[in-house]
Amino acid sequence: MPKLSIAVFASGGGTNLQSLLDSSKKGAFDGEITAVISNNSGAYALERARNAGIATYHISGKKFPERDRFVEEILKTLEKHNVNLIVLAGYMKLLPLEVVKTYRNRILNIHPALLPKYGGKGMYGINVHKAVIESGDRISGATVHFVDEIFDHGVILIQRTVPVLPGDDPETLAARVLKVEHKILPKAVSMFA
Ligand code: GAR
């Protein structure tokens, strides 16, 4: 049995999931991705997981309108795979408090900015890059941090910077940040392992 059983939560395209799958194949960390969970049944991340032969789960508030059932479904899935590390890789929802409590110090999140700047409610995906460009900051980057009860708040494990270039729009900046995300997320998992 591998040392680390990793569950990845993703909501969209899943390029960060892909970077984890690829680096796992290369043996970059001592662990195995055993489950991929999404709130979005149409997420391409789920397709990536299926292509890699990994169990996928669609667990959302819409599918499980009763909150207790929703939380139970997440916890049950994590237990089923004996998960001991959760990675939020482009997960656009807040993880239920019960999950944060149960897996304290065992949840990592990747954020597309240099926290504590540009974190918190509403700061996800392209919104983050819009805010950075509007601020006039010349440097942005990506952060991997432990997840606690407060949005984008837990202890930081790795950060890497990228320049904000003249003429950047949110999309060009997002692409530059995403490249470093793909490097630091597997590195963070390896550090954790
Ligand atoms: C990534 O940039 C990730 O940092 C960000 O969403 C994108 C997902 O891309 N996450 C957040 O904003 C969470 N607060 P991906 O689906 O291609 O990995």
Q: Find where tokens 């003429």 sit.
A: 167
* Distance of alpha carbon 12 from alpha carbon 18, whole angstroms: 12
Ligand 1 neighbour 181 (Cβ under 6 A): yes
Question: Where do the structural domains in the chain lie, given as residue ranges?
Answer: 4-192
Q: Compute, in angstroms, the gap from residue 167 CA to the centroid of ligand 1.
A: 22
- State in Å, rounded, how far the first CA of the chain is from the last one: 14
Q: Compute, in angstroms, the gap from residue 106 CA to the centroid of ligand 1.
A: 19
Identify the helix (H) or strand (E) that includes residue 162.
strand 156-163
Query: Are 30 and 3 spatial neighbours (Cβ–Cβ below 8 Å)?
Result: yes
The reported pLDDT for the residue numbered 109 is 98
The reported pLDDT for the residue numbered 31 is 95
Instruction: Point out the catalytic residue in the list 58, 81, 111, 153.
Output: 111
Does the domain at 4-192 match CATH 3.40.50.170? Answer given as yes
Write the single-letter amino acid at 47.
E
The reported pLDDT for the residue numbered 2 is 52
Identify the helix (H) or strand (E) that includes residue 33.
strand 32-38
Maximum Cα–Cα distance across the chain: 50
The reported pLDDT for the residue numbered 3 is 78
Ligand 1 neighbour 18 (Cβ under 6 A): no
Q: Which of 49, 104, 57, 54 minimizes the C-alpha distance to 78?
A: 57
Residue with the nearest Cα to atom 3 of ligand 1?
90
pLDDT in tens, the chain (193 residues): 557 999 999 999 999 999 999 999 999 999 999 999 999 999 999 999 999 999 999 999 999 999 999 999 999 999 999 999 999 999 999 999 999 999 999 999 999 999 999 999 899 999 999 999 999 999 999 999 999 999 899 999 999 999 999 999 999 999 999 999 999 999 999 999 9
